[in-house]
Amino acid sequence: MLRIVPDWLLYIIVIAAVVFVLFRVDQRADAPEALPGATEAGSYLPPPSMYDPEVLVEVGPVASGMGTAFAISVDGWWLTARHVVDGCQDVGLIVSRGSAVPVREVKRALFADLALLRTDQAPSALALDTSERQFQINQRAFHVGFPQGRPGEAYSRLIGRETLVARGRYDLEEPVLAWAEQGRTSGLRGSLAGISGGPAFGANGQVIGVTVAESARRGRIYTAAPSSIMRFLRLEQVEAVGAPAPRLTADNYGQESDDLRRQLAVAQVVCVAPGDGPF
């Protein structure tokens, strides 16, 4: 059953999402230019290593805000980033203007920046690509969600692995995939905050990661690896059953992303922090 969210609460949350970055590496305001370099697929992605570079992120205190989630089962299971929903008093998914579906259950991974959300059902679900060993350097990813609380997307190319070291509200270390940003929605400047928890698609339309962090200064986007996603699903005994999105290119990814949001395969997450009132 849908519950109507008061307009004043939505306005407060949207403002908070824009001015407060839930999870980021730095604070550069300008979006990076498209990066030069090879776009053809290269060598296969090596396995995680203790010698992978580290990227340090700070997990700030719990605050009301917005992120992104995507459906992995029509039974009502959704994936998002842990930092988007960790510590929230109430969590909901926006389904239309002024209306949201309350999340009945939140499961948080202890080893990765991942969380599962449960609603009564989902209109459509997306397929996961678990062939991580077949990933190739320079292959593309398309990141879809709600940066700065608005519909938006970016695309990137794979540059390798790094180890994400999170400190603050919770501590963890996890292997992540590092991507060099190549382009984004026209007019979108500054931080991609709000796209956290959104799907990263391969060109084949399957989800190959969950967007968890960015470094605007370096022009980097970081995603939870498929191996982390599958480990989490196995631990929680959740079966992901979905269909691929259409094939994505640098020319059509904006339109296809809009379709995914309209279909509610990708949805906006609302977090209400303790003390900010009921959802």
Contact 80, 69 (CB under 8 A): yes
Selected residue with higher pLDDT from 32 and 98: 98
Give the helix/strand (H/E) hosting 15. helix 7-19
Q: What is the mean pLDDT of the chain?
A: 86
Residue 130 in tokens? 């678990």
Contact 222, 106 (CB under 8 A): no
**Residue ranges in 217-269 assigned as alpha helix (H):** 226-236, 253-262
With pLDDT > 90 as the criterion, what percentage of the chain qualifies?
75
Average the pLDDT over 143-151 and give the result. 96
Contact 80, 39 (CB under 8 A): no
Residue 261 in tokens? 């949001």
Report pLDDT digits (tens) over 249-265.
999 999 999 999 999 99
Q: Please give the pLDDT value at position 41.
A: 63
Sheet strands side by side (includes 3-4): 3-4, 99-102, 90-96, 266-272, 65-73, 77-80, 115-118, 105-108
7 residue type, one letter: D
Contact 11, 65 (CB under 8 A): no
pLDDT at 17 over 50: no
Selected residue with higher pLDDT from 5 and 86: 86
In the chain the beta strands, taken as DSSP E runs, fall at: 3-4, 23-24, 54-59, 65-73, 77-80, 90-96, 99-102, 105-108, 115-118, 140-145, 152-168, 172-184, 199-201, 207-215, 220-224, 266-272
Instruction: Specify the CATH number of the domain 3-272.
Output: 2.40.10.120
